[in-house]
């Protein structure tokens, strides 16, 4: 799991817009990461299915979207949120 997280974090570090990343360890083996991306070029990356990671997305302004391997597409507008495990978006 840590290797997949590091791959995702490395991709985000190369993002051309403003970014803020903060990880807080809640309990042994349980962490929460806050990620904020603003502006810049579109960010595209993929990851392995990660059923043990719960992802919560919130769109403050603009739009965020995903094209998933399954063919599904998700788009969030201002005020929208999504909640899913990271195995459904791989």
pLDDT at res. 75:
93
What ranges do the domains of the chain cover? 2-86
How far is 63 from 44, CA to CA, in rounded Å?
Answer: 14
pTM of the full structure: 0.73
Angle at 80 between CA 33 and CA 90, to 5 degrees: 55
CB 90, CB 68: distance < 8 Å? yes
Q: Where are the alpha helices (DSSP H) in the chain?
A: 2-13
SS3 at position 73: strand
How far is 81 from 59, CA to CA, in rounded Å?
Answer: 6
pLDDT at res. 76:
95
Question: Tens-of-pLDDT digits for all 90 residues of the chain?
Answer: 567 777 777 888 778 788 888 889 999 988 888 888 887 777 777 778 888 888 899 998 888 888 877 788 889 999 999 998 888 776
């Amino acid at each position: 799991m840590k290797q997949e997280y590091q791959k995702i974090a490395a991709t985000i570090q190369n993002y051309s817009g403003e970014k803020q990343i903060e990880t807080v360890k809640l309990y042994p083996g349980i962490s929460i990461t806050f990620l904020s991306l603003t502006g810049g070029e579109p960010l595209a990356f993929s990851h392995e299915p990660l059923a043990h990671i719960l992802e919560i997305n919130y769109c403050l302004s603009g739009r965020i979207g995903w094209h998933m391997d399954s063919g599904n597409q998700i788009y969030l507008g201002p005020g929208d949120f999504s909640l899913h495990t990271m195995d459904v978006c791989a």
